[in-house]
Amino acid sequence: TIPVLMDCDPGHDDAIALVMAHRSPVIDLLGVTTVCGNAPPERTTSNALRIMQFIDATDVPVAQGCVTPLARPLVLGTADGPTGLDGTTYLPEATMPLVPMHGVDFIAKILREAPEPVVLVPTGPLTNIAMFLLKYPELKHKIDKIVLMGGAFYRRTEYITPTEFNIFCDPEAARIVLDSGLDIIMVGLDVTMHVLVEEEQFAELRKIESPLGKVVLDWLKFYEKLHRGQMGVGGALHDPLALAAVIDPTLIETREAHVEIDLTGTYTFGATVADFWNERKLGNNTRIATRVDSGRFFELMYSLLRD
């Protein structure tokens, strides 16, 4: 199994990524940390706890991380409703306790205790991961790789073009992570905007008659409607795709590049700028997902929700 730590801001798509991680037989989910992004930090945290409790994952520790981006005021995401997880009445408030430790220190604890290097899967702004790298550089070797949801490179963008929300929300953190020298895979909008929940996918999801199937359907109905209003297409499963690429790396194709984050652009800060041809001789610092097999992604997702 692959030891994984998830850092997230649930968020409907984060929520589904958490469910998939917990249910996948190839992943050993060591812990979950939360960050602000789609909703304020107390909401992303209580959402994470509610999700984990609902799927009987109370043995997976959840810790709350940073409550603001590193250097900018928090701008909330708009894709998930005010609670960050609107759409279902079927998800009780959590009684499972939060780890009594800051998320950044908790990442250090998990990595220190892990017998082998761990895969980090950040699906929110990169604040916690950047803080961890600044605070615990001696533990960097315990990170096997980082498979993150973030970035927009070719043409499919959303939010304020040409940026992607997770990077836009904390661009300084993204730069710190990209400068780390770690093995990084960026699963950005170029691929995630090709895994859309629309009528065909709803038909499959309706066949999953378990309580989990019903909650996921409620979430996605809400999420799809909001997306359609904002972007004219169905709900993009951004974060589940990043997680799925850990379970099955063949779901995506990647291309190496040097990526810089625009930190000063008046209207483009947070943009991910890739030097694909190594024109500036800076060396590659990441692998960018360029293609996705969406059919196989959905098969994987259904199978994990079904079993």
Task: List residues with catalytic annotation.
Answer: 238
Rounded CA-CA distance 244/20 in Å is: 8
Rounded CA-CA distance 200/264 in Å is: 42
Encode 75-107: b = buried (16+ Cβ within 10 Å), e = exposed: bbbebbeeebbebbeebeebeeebbeebbbbbb
Q: How many CB atoms lie within 10 A of CB 137?
A: 10
Q: Which does 79 bind (CB under 5 to 8 A by kind): Ca ion, ligand BDR, none?
A: ligand BDR
Q: Does 235 bind ligand BDR (CB under 6 A)?
A: no
Q: Does 11 bind ligand BDR (CB under 6 A)?
A: yes
Question: What is the smallest separation between the CB atom of 272 and Ca ion, expressed in angstroms?
Answer: 16
Question: What is the smallest separation between the CB atom of 10 and ligand BDR, expressed in angstroms?
Answer: 8
Q: Does 61 bind Ca ion (CB under 5 A)?
A: no
SS3 195: coil
Give the residue nearest to ligand BDR (CB): 165
Please give the full DSSP string across 50-100, using - where no structure is assigned: HHHHHTT-TTS-EEE--SS-SSS-----SSS-TTSSTT-S--PPP-SPPPS
Q: Does 239 bind ligand BDR (CB under 6 A)?
A: yes
Question: What is the smallest separation between the CB atom of 121 and ligand BDR, expressed in angstroms?
Answer: 11
Q: Which residue in the set 3, 4, 7, 14 belongs to the binding site for ligand BDR (CB under 6 A)? A: 14
What amino acid is encoded at 140 in this protein? K
Q: Which residue in the set 3, 4, 14, 29 belongs to the binding site for Ca ion (CB under 5 A)? A: 14
- Give the residue with the Cβ less far from ligand BDR, 108 or 120: 120
Q: Which does 142 bind (CB under 5 to 8 A by kind): ligand BDR, Ca ion, none?
A: none
Question: Is the Cα dihedral 64, 270, 178, 236 positive or negative?
Answer: positive
Q: Which residue in the set 124, 125, 234, 270 belongs to the binding site for Ca ion (CB under 5 A)? A: 124
Q: Does 45 bind ligand BDR (CB under 6 A)?
A: no
Residue whose pair of structure tokens reads 């469910």 in the numeric block? 19
Q: Is 144 exposed, middle or buried (CB count within 10 Å of its CB: 0-12, 13-18, 19+)?
A: middle
Rounded CA-CA distance 252/191 in Å is: 8
Q: Candidates 19-27, 54-62, 160-168, 282-290 — which segment interacts with ligand BDR by CB under 6 A?
A: 160-168
Q: Does 122 bind ligand BDR (CB under 6 A)?
A: no
Q: Which residue in the set 6, 22, 84, 164 belongs to the binding site for ligand BDR (CB under 6 A)? A: 164
130-149 footprint of ligand BDR as x/- string (CB under 6 A): -------------------x
Q: Which token pair is 65? A: 């991380």
Q: Element (H or E) spanning 229, and its range?
A: helix 211-231
Q: Does 11 bind Ca ion (CB under 5 A)?
A: yes
CA distances from 26 to 5, 21, 93, 274 (A): 13, 9, 29, 32
Query: By the criterion CB under 5 A, which residues form the site for Ca ion?
Result: 9, 11, 14, 123-124, 239
Query: By the criterion CB under 6 A, which residues form the site for ligand BDR?
Result: 11, 13-14, 38, 77, 79, 123-124, 149, 164-166, 238-239
